[in-house]
Amino acid sequence: PALPRKNQAAEEDTVDGLLHHHRRRRRTSFSSSSEMEASTVAALYPAHRCKTVYLVRHAQGFHNAAEESDIIDHTSPALLDAQLTPLGWSQVDCLREHVTKSGLAKKIELVIVSPLMRTMQTAVGVFGGGNYTDGVSAPPLMVEGAENSGRQPISSLNCPPFLAVEACREKLSVLTSDKRSSITRYRTLFPAIDFSLIKNDEDVLWGPDVIETDESVVARGMNLFDWLWTREEKEIAIVTHCGFLYHTLNTYGKGCHPTVAEELGKVFANCELRSMVLVDRSKLGSDTSRYNFAGKIPAGLDMPSDVADKKQAEEASKN
């Protein structure tokens, strides 16, 4: 029935008001959307083209402690392949407690470590399997009292595999602390670390007059991260050095927002851990995700089975 003219006018006013309010909300929404598009920096990437990398600088070594003195001879034989100080081992214990309580220890599938004493001590102390028990068939990650450390042996059970890689060594210089010992010696101290990727028993990279360029450090750092795509592990810890991390991460930061670049470029403290997402923008890690699921499986006609069978028989007779 027709509304009285007065009521009809009131309703028209109400409808006009609602339409005006709706248009205004739409304009506001579009405006907010435009602002959001202008400020949004988030991005999506397929999960199977990403890895999580946990970067760790070694704990305090004797060469780090010596740097705090006014006079230090960095070429001293006493600093050769420097091991961890007692404070350094305390830092290891603190980081181990953190990765255990946070659940990170159970996520890591591989530990890559620079083949120097301080990095291997840090790696096995943080990510190793705990105290070693005599009579266990598996070899220990570190033998008791390695390098007069006074530490208990560390088990290789209930922990990820450890792989020594020279590509993540510290920037080569005249410092004796950056010269490694022989692999033969390391194998007696760290029986469960895999040294198979290291070709030379003695250190052929270090020399008293060798000073590696920053560009060389960056090149091997980026090659190392590219090499990770040949591995199937998705959660990888890398225990390495301050200079290696500084030069490599600063290079990656050049293509990032200034805030991110600043974060990447910060110097690592001793025994500091930072997590990073490594993204494959090429075809290096082209394996499909084990979690992806192709729709419409099992394949077939979306109709009753008797009708589908008849339809398929008809299609088969035409072929």
- Catalytic sites, residue numbers: 58, 170
Tell me the two tokens of residue 192: 């469960």
User: What is the tally of helices (H) and strands (E) in the chain?
Assistant: 10, 5
State how far the Cα of 258 lies from the Cα of 162, in Å rounded to an integer.
35
Residue with tokens 């070694």: 58
User: Residue 204 to residues 79, 166, 176, 208, 245: CA-CA distances in angstroms?
Assistant: 18, 11, 14, 11, 22
Question: What does DSSP assign to residue 271?
Answer: T
Largest CA distance in the chain: 105
165-181 burial code (b ≥16 CB/10 A, e <16): bbbbbbbbbebbbbbbb
State how far the Cα of 57 lies from the Cα of 55, in Å rounded to an integer.
7
Tell me the two tokens of residue 76: 């001293």
Helix (H, G, I), strand (E, B) or coil at 194: strand
120 and 190 in contact (C-beta within 8 Å)? yes
Q: Which helix (H) or strand (E) holds 291?
A: none
